[in-house]
Structure 1
Amino acid sequence: MAGSRLGQWPCLVVCILILFKAEGASIPITIVETAVSRGAVCLDGSPPGYHFDKGSGSGIDNWLVHMEGGGWCESVESCVSRRDTFRGSSSKMEKTMGFSGILGSKQAANPDFYNWNRIKVRYCDGSSFTGDVEAVDPETKLYFRGERVWQAVIDELLAKGMQNARNAILSGCSAGGLAAILHCDKFQSLLPATARVKCVSDAGYFIHGTDISGGSRIESFFGQVVKTHGSAKNLPASCTSKMNPELCFFPQYVAQTMRTPLFIINSAYDSWQIKNILAPTAVDSKKEWKDCKLDLKKCSASQLQTVQDYRAQFLKAVNTGLGSSSTRGLWIDSCYAHCQSGSVSTWLNDKSPEVGDTKMGKAVGDWFYDRSAMEKIDCPYPCNPTCVSVDSES
């Protein structure tokens, strides 16, 4: 089913790479058994889970909550297909996980956040943690409860000390990066008024873009996600009060009314967006874009111009969403990549990509601690020589 393919786990390849590049000890999974009584469960009805590396020293009261990505399921059929996998059941998840990049525990590789309380929330609902349907179909036994999952995990973290946070970040990658935007203001409202609270979205700024046919297949796809999961009532009211709730799954409309500072890490040539928003398989019936989508160096001159036009669409959507706010942060590179903050090789090391001589790990830290304003937007592809190692992983 074409719609199902559109939601197929956009960070899967990168997530696997990150897993192998993780640093330090493996962090065991914590299963939130008490969540079941409140109906906060994965697609298959199993309790949600997260990995928690406790903070120390100066980071003991600082919290970084990172939400896992992995696409969406927009129909009963596509949700059934992921229900019995690690994307729909905590019983299928690995029991330990290594942390790296923004979650890394080594000071040299992650100087601003290495000793914080660092949490990775596992993704098992298929709706960027927004769904909430009370009824459970007795035939499929699917639970659409992503919003409850998010709340149950956050409640447990608050009880473990996050309620006393001095500094806090809600972050995520891909579908988790979108979730960080959609839940950002809610997260801030649950923490002390005296806390510095900000949000970081990596590869989660999915735009309401035009595809190669002149249509917007992503609009109908996201609309189906919202409808299937009953997400509308959980999307930011500041957006849904002004427009069709289904459009409030797009960051460019939500960000316009956000109160909490937001940092966007993204490629202007996000590999998932090029493959699924610009040139989705369903509208590329002759597969003319097949090679180009795998490697931008294989694009024809006209295809590359279309890709450059998409970059213009993306940058316009960012500026429309975040406006000229002094609290916004941007690190937008020209690498053909998707999800870059979770790997030690792309976050902050000698070979990490740079935009304006600044690596993303330093950019996020400087922005969070108000050391400097941070708006880094790369020149057009293929101008950035530091993208070499990243492009080869896409």
Structure 2
Amino acid sequence: MMQVLGLILILLCVQAFKLVYISDPKALCLDGTPSSFYKAEGYGTGAKKYILHFQGGSRIGGQSYDQLLKSALTRSKTVLGSSKNLNQQMFYHGWFERTKIANEYYYNWNMIHLNYCDGTLHQGYKSDPVEYNGEKLYFRGDQIVKSWLSDLSDELSKAELVIVSGCSAGGIAAYFWVDYIRSQLPASVVVYGVPDSGIFIDMPAIDGTDNQKQSLNLLLELVNTEVTHPNRECVNNNQQQKWKCYYAQYLLEYIKTPLFIVQSLYDYYSLSQMFKVDCSDNYNLTYCSQEQLDFSQTLYSKTLDVLMKRKQNFLETGGFAPSCLEHCFLLTPRYDSSDWEVPGLSGNTLENTLQKWLNSNQKYDDNFYIDSVEWPDNDKCSNSEMSNYQIQIQIIFIIIFSVIFN
């Protein structure tokens, strides 16, 4: 029994991602602690293949400058604004599993997870800290990303393939940075983008308010006076409306790197948090009013339009977009689960559709898996109690292992 437990512990150590601090002393989290990333070394056939993943976690917000700074101060006391309490090792699910049985295609790649501690969508920069309530706040998202890439530059320049990814706020960051990363690497390195749940539609909430855009403009005033958006072309073409470059629906026009877009057509975070459709809190629309159903359908239609426009303008674009109320797929059990297929009952999971796209040399046909049915008509759009229970159990095990190896 002890031998078995010892073997399990050894295997877990092999699978663990190790914490690495970014070397640049100016690349600081909100509270002034060093920024960091987790890394698992690639080997064998994956030795020269990389996944760069931006962590998600919303952003600082507020309807006034004071509220924005209060939000930043609160966040600076958490792992999304500080590196003080990070585990020395981490474990991830889905696309970042480190065993072949759990992740057949990518288990031995170099996997690098940029910890999100700037609070401003992995972008923006202020050279001087901002003092609020007697404490200093550092806004260094731009510096963090560029320093992270600098620390990795030697090995990335020798890579065969680099995939730029991220979920939620990290998905937005993947849209922001993918062309910049492409520009920093030799032409011999193949670069793709796989943003996950980074499309947040520009429209008012169900109550008619547009707090998200107001908050975004305040954020840009705070942290984007010394640097510009990573996608210069978007900024140059939207001088009077720079906020547009922070919405993927507008930014997609300027991204030249091939993309495989992962996106729910009924994004759960958008509906429940941004657009105040509170009936969606249980990941379905069963108890919604007709007004809420109509609003949700508007989100579906607008998201679908964004995806189809990108495909029309850039034919190599691939995608996986189920008609589910969900948010984030790649680093969750949803990545390879048969409970999320497009179309329903087709066997097309995110895992195998992404792999097919990566191996297709971006052929124009049969690489765009977008649900043609509305909620709840996809038979494999599962938000069942059992599926959610299984996910919760797996998350608990990940947390336990993380604590053990802290």
Task: Give the TM-score category using the shorter length.
Answer: 0.7 to 0.9
After TM superposition, the structure 1 = structure 2 runs for residues 8-19 of structure 1, keeping only pairs within 5 Å, are: none
Q: Does 1:236 pair with 2:226?
A: no
Correspondent of 2:188 among 194, 197, 206: 194
Please state how far the C-alpha of 1:134 moved relative to its aligned partner.
0.8
Q: Output one character per residue of 1:183-239: Cα deviation in whole Å (capped at 9) or x when no partner.
A: 010111122201211011111111212321345332222222222222761341111
Correspondent of 1:324 among 292, 302, 313: 313
After TM superposition, the structure 1 = structure 2 runs for residues 379-394 of structure 1, keeping only pairs within 5 Å, are: 379-389=373-383, 393=388
- Distance in 2 between the 1:135 and 1:365 partners? 44
Correspondent of 1:151 among 143, 146, 151: 146
- Distance in 2 between the 1:390 and 1:82 partners? 32
Runs of 5+ in structure 2 lacking a partner?
A: 1-11, 62-67, 392-406
Q: Does 1:176 pair with 2:164?
A: no
Contact map agreement 2:194 2:261 (CA 8 A) in 1? yes
- Distance in 1 between the 2:311 and 2:357 partners? 15
- Between the two proteins, the alignment pairs up a number of residues equal to 358
- Distance in 1 between the 2:260 and 2:204 partners? 24
* Residues 122, 317 of structure 1: alpha-carbon distance in 2 compared, 3 angstrom cutoff: same
1:221 corresponds to: 215
* Residues 209, 217 of structure 1: alpha-carbon distance in 2 compared, 3 angstrom cutoff: same
State the one-letter code of the partner of 2:18.
P
1:53 corresponds to: 40
Q: Does 1:30 pair with 2:24?
A: no
Normalising by structure 1, what TM-score?
A: 0.85
- Distance in 1 between the 2:327 and 2:59 partners? 16
Q: Secondary structure at the match of 1:35?
A: coil
- Distance in 1 between the 2:235 and 2:309 partners? 17
- Distance in 1 between the 2:308 and 2:204 partners? 17
State the one-letter code of the partner of 2:233.
S
1:276 corresponds to: 273
Contact map agreement 2:72 2:119 (CA 8 A) in 1? yes
Correspondent of 2:199 among 188, 205, 218: 205
2:325 corresponds to: 336
1:120 corresponds to: 113
Q: Secondary structure at the match of 1:50?
A: strand
1:9 corresponds to: none
Q: Secondary structure at the match of 1:186?
A: helix
* Residues 23, 302 of structure 1: alpha-carbon distance in 2 compared, 3 angstrom cutoff: farther
Q: Does 1:366 pair with 2:366?
A: no
Deviates more, 1:331-340 or 1:305-314: 305-314
Runs of 5+ in structure 1 lacking a partner?
A: 1-21, 280-288
After TM superposition, the structure 1 = structure 2 runs for residues 59-78 of structure 1, keeping only pairs within 5 Å, are: 59-74=46-61, 75-78=68-71
Q: Output one character per residue of 1:8-48: Cα deviation in whole Å (capped at 9) or x when no partner.
A: xxxxxxxxxxxxxx99733221122x221xx1111111111
State the identity %: 27
Contact map agreement 1:184 1:260 (CA 8 A) in 2? yes
RMSD: 2.2
Contact map agreement 1:67 1:179 (CA 8 A) in 2? yes
1:13 corresponds to: none
Please state how far the C-alpha of 1:168 moved relative to its aligned partner.
0.8
Please state how far the C-alpha of 1:320 moved relative to its aligned partner.
3.9
Larger C-alpha radius of gyration, 1 or 2? 2
Please state how far the C-alpha of 1:334 moved relative to its aligned partner.
1.2
